[in-house]
A and B are shown apart, each in its own frame.
Chain A
Amino acid sequence: MGVIEISHVSKCFSPKEGEVHALKDVSVSIEAGDIYGIIGMSGAGKSTLVRCMNYLERPTEGSVKVFNQELGALSEKELRKMRQDIGMIFQHFNLLMQKNVLENVCYPLYIQGVKRREARVKAMELLELVGLADRAKTYPAKLSGGQQQRVAIARALASNPKILLCDEATSALDPQTTASILELLKEINEKFGITIVIITHQMAVVREICNRVTILSSGVVVEEGEVAEVFKHPKSPEAKELIRRDLSGEVDAPVRRPVSQVREGKTFRIVFTENSSYEPVISNVIMQFMEPVNILGANTRNVSGIARGEMLLQLIPDSKHEADIVAYLEERGIAVEEVNADELE
């Protein structure tokens, strides 16, 4: 039984102009200690889904259980109590701009009735943790985005939550700052055993720190599984597209046509893992089959702590050895998958 159990949740908004189904029969199970990624393009329903986890949004149908308690069955007071166990951070940090950093972190403690003095001691410890103890008296407007997000993290941790929900928490930050915030989240997960749910549209974020991932598309779960597995064998077109964008370094940029207008033969994505053999496979393929291969792209990356290499290989048109080459690579522990031309564009 996971700490968060979402079963068959649907959410329907009914604005004036017709109904919008933000979520359709979504089920997600998140285990204690997970860093769970929920990824999708904008409008996929991921922000709605994360808000169902603390009932900022009430699902139209289905059940949301947190710590084995049905959120829909809680009174308003019980729900407020429950929310103190579920921290949340946001894309735009959402700090109190008229309060200094220390008071921002103290706020959730005041809600719980903690005395001012104790609250300040606790808040200082948390600011120490996020590396901003020296900015305690500063107002948020004077801080950078990354620093504001750190304050938000300290604030979210003040009530000793067991779950931390992150809604596009790094989307407003540059890549370096994103990396440092992800590092901090990882540290929090390891140090305090806090279950973290990460909503993002960036596959890089999922690759960097998540152990499991759900891919949402138009309010529907299209793929779910371990991150390493999804990266190795993406099944849905959405997963393939997200991985491709990640591989090519695109994030939100509109799809670009690869440099190679020379694209002719079939293209394969091959993935090296720690199980792959150490021989120079590409050279060997060329020598064995006496056929050139075109390397369209290559990359190494760290997926959940495992180093892996990826390459996009293109064969010559009407290659006679296509099946043999695939078999040859697979024999050597390399995952091979055909990538069709549309996906590359």
Chain B
Amino acid sequence: MSWNDATTQMIITGVYETILITVLSTFFGYLFGLPYGIAMVVTDRDGLHPMPVVYKVLDILSNILRSVPFLILMILLIPFTRAVVGKSYGTEGTIVPLVISAIPYIARLVESSLKEVDPGVIEAAQAMGSSKRSIVLHVLLVEARTSLVVNATIATATILGYSAMAGSIGGGGLGAIAIQYGYYRYETTIMVVTVVLLILLVQLFQTIGMKAAKALDKRK
């Protein structure tokens, strides 16, 4: 097959789908992963509201989810994915397992960012009579914001990589194109083009993330 308008159109759609999958998966990943991470920090032994049992459950659950290889998780989740979005392939079908696998990973990233906050600052807020809620919202999340954004950038790039992997079992986006044309049909040109585009996308997300992190950092 030679390169034609249909190929170009397909690649453009692929780029669009990849961006859509990555952005939506990261968004929903944070929608659940951020509270998950906060919950781990708060319930930890030296946290604002220690609840050792709850912490242990969250801790173990996140480890279990992170130890299942993504491709296998995706297959295991097919019934769940169908129940949520109605199909287990294509763009929507990729987002569901991506979100599920991203949640515990994001929770860990959030946990490590929040743990970097100087305990002295938290103590000062407690001494002022801050509620725990206020400490989370106005001290933890604000003081850790640079680290949170840096980690969100890492999470986005990782999710983008996983989305390409999902292409091998019916996912959408550039990954699916690379597999279907580049791998099964030996269309090397298409393979190279998609890989270059994936690299450019990662660079793009990385640049935006780092610029944002730098702009938010007032510590220097």
B-binding residues in A (CB < 8 A): 54, 56, 79-84, 86-88, 90, 92, 94-100, 107-108, 110-112, 139, 141, 152, 155-156, 159, 165
* Cβ contact within 8 Å between A80 and B129: yes
* Proximity string of chain B (38-73) to chain A, C-beta cutoff 8 Å, 1 when within and 0 when not: 000000000000000000000000000000000000
Our pick among A81, A83, A92, A110 for the contact of B127 (Cβ within 8 Å) is A83
Our pick among A80, A84, A141 for the contact of B218 (Cβ within 8 Å) is A141
* Cβ contact within 8 Å between B219 and A111: no
CB nearest neighbor in A for B124: A94
Interface size class of B (residues with CB under 8 A): 20 to 34
Would you give the shortest CB distance from A105 to chain B, in whole angstroms?
11
Contact (A100, B218) CB under 8 Å given A90-B120, A94-B123, A94-B124: yes
* Cβ contact within 8 Å between A141 and B130: no
List the 5 closest A-B pairs by CB distance, nearest first: A83-B129, A94-B124, A88-B127, A94-B120, A80-B129
Residues in A neighbouring B145, C-beta threshold 8 A = 98
Contact (A96, B128) CB under 8 Å given A90-B120, A141-B219: no
Contact (A56, B118) CB under 8 Å given A100-B218, A107-B138: no
B192: Cβ under 8 A from any A Cβ: no
Residues in A neighbouring B134, C-beta threshold 8 A = 111
Our pick among B128, B139, B216, B220 for the contact of A159 (Cβ within 8 Å) is B128
B142: Cβ under 8 A from any A Cβ: yes
B76: Cβ under 8 A from any A Cβ: no
B126: Cβ under 8 A from any A Cβ: yes
Residues in A neighbouring B216, C-beta threshold 8 A = 98
Compute how far the CA of A141 lies from the CA of B217 in the bound complex, rounded to whole angstroms. 11
Contact (A88, B218) CB under 8 Å given A80-B130, A98-B142, A99-B142: no
CB nearest neighbor in A for B142: A98
* Cβ contact within 8 Å between B129 and A108: yes
Residues in A neighbouring B139, C-beta threshold 8 A = 96
CB nearest neighbor in A for B126: A56
In this complex, the member of B118, B121, B131 whose beta carbon has the largest number of chain A beta carbons within 10 angstroms is B121
Compute how far the CA of A156 lies from the CA of B124 in the bound complex, rounded to whole angstroms. 9
Would you give the shortest CB distance from B126 to chain A, in whole angstroms?
6
Contact (A96, B142) CB under 8 Å given A54-B127, A107-B128, A159-B129: yes
Residues in A neighbouring B127, C-beta threshold 8 A = 54, 56, 83, 86-88, 165
Compute how far the CA of A155 lies from the CA of B139 in the bound complex, rounded to whole angstroms. 15
* Cβ contact within 8 Å between A83 and B142: no
Compute how far the CA of A321 lies from the CA of B125 in the bound complex, rounded to whole angstroms. 62
Residues in A neighbouring B143, C-beta threshold 8 A = 96-98
Compute how far the CA of A337 lies from the CA of B129 in the bound complex, rounded to whole angstroms. 48
Our pick among B123, B129, B217 for the contact of A111 (Cβ within 8 Å) is B129
* Cβ contact within 8 Å between B219 and A98: yes
Compute how far the CA of A110 lies from the CA of B130 in the bound complex, rounded to whole angstroms. 10
Would you give the shortest CB distance from B194 to chain A, in whole angstroms?
40
Residues in A neighbouring B125, C-beta threshold 8 A = 107
Compute how far the CA of A112 lies from the CA of B123 in the bound complex, rounded to whole angstroms. 17
CB nearest neighbor in A for B135: A111
Compute how far the CA of A177 lies from the CA of B126 in the bound complex, rounded to whole angstroms. 27
Our pick among B128, B129, B131, B219 for the contact of A139 (Cβ within 8 Å) is B219
Would you give the shortest CB distance from B134 to chain A, in whole angstroms?
6
* Cβ contact within 8 Å between A80 and B142: no
Residue pairs across A and B with Cβ atoms less than 8 A apart, 7 shown, are: A90-B124, A94-B121, A94-B124, A96-B139, A97-B218, A100-B218, A141-B218
Residues in B neighbouring A165, C-beta threshold 8 A = 127
Compute how far the CA of A90 lies from the CA of B123 in the bound complex, rounded to whole angstroms. 10
* Cβ contact within 8 Å between A95 and B121: yes
Given contacts A98-B219, A141-B218, 19 further A-B contacts (CB under 8 A): A56-B127, A82-B129, A83-B128, A87-B128, A88-B124, A92-B118, A94-B121, A96-B142, A96-B143, A97-B118, A98-B218, A108-B129, A111-B129, A111-B130, A111-B131, A112-B129, A139-B218, A141-B219, A141-B220
